[in-house]
């Protein structure tokens, strides 16, 4: 799942990718299963499951299959969500790296130039 925002030309652009772990957490809450109990059911350490649920670790094929067998969320959906998350995260990183930072030194005595730069960059 991805949240989007409209840009000036109304194209939709990603600004926050959502990890597939966000699909698992509400399911556990709804079923009244603790993360510790679910980790035990899956045969993994609670910290490992916690990292997946909190988006700090990628969901593997093996883990997706275990989750499907345990609570019925199809592995294909979980893995598609992970792939989408990976792609969106990469796109966001690329977009962030395309912004350029420029350092400008303007002599204090040249106030008109300073005002012009502030105006052109919309900092006023």
Residue 121's pLDDT is what? Answer: 59
- As given in the structure block, the two tokens for residue 25 are 């957490």
- Model confidence, pTM: 0.62
- Report the distance separating Cα 33 and Cα 25, nearest Å: 10
Place of tokens 């989408």: 84
Residue pLDDT tens, the chain, 124 long: 444 444 444 445 444 567 889 889 999 999 999 999 999 999 999 999 999 999 999 999 999 999 999 999 999 999 988 998 898 888 665 555 555 555 555 555 666 665 666 666 566 5
Residue 8's pLDDT is what? Answer: 44
Asked whether 111 and 96 are in contact (CB, 8 A), the reply is no
């Amino acid at each position: 799942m991805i949240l989007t925002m409209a840009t000036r030309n109304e194209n939709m652009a990603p600004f926050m990718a959502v990890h597939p772990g966000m699909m698992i957490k509400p399911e556990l809450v709804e079923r009244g299963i603790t993360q510790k109990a679910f980790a035990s059911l899956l045969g993994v350490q609670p910290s490992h499951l916690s990292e997946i649920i909190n988006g700090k670790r990628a969901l593997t094929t093996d883990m997706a299959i275990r989750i499907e067998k345990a609570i019925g969320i199809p592995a294909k959906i979980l893995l598609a969500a992970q792939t989408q998350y990976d792609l969106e995260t990469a796109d966001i990183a690329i977009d962030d790296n395309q912004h350029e930072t420029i350092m400008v030194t303007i002599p204090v005595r040249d106030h008109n130039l300073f005002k012009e730069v502030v105006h052109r960059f919309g900092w006023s």
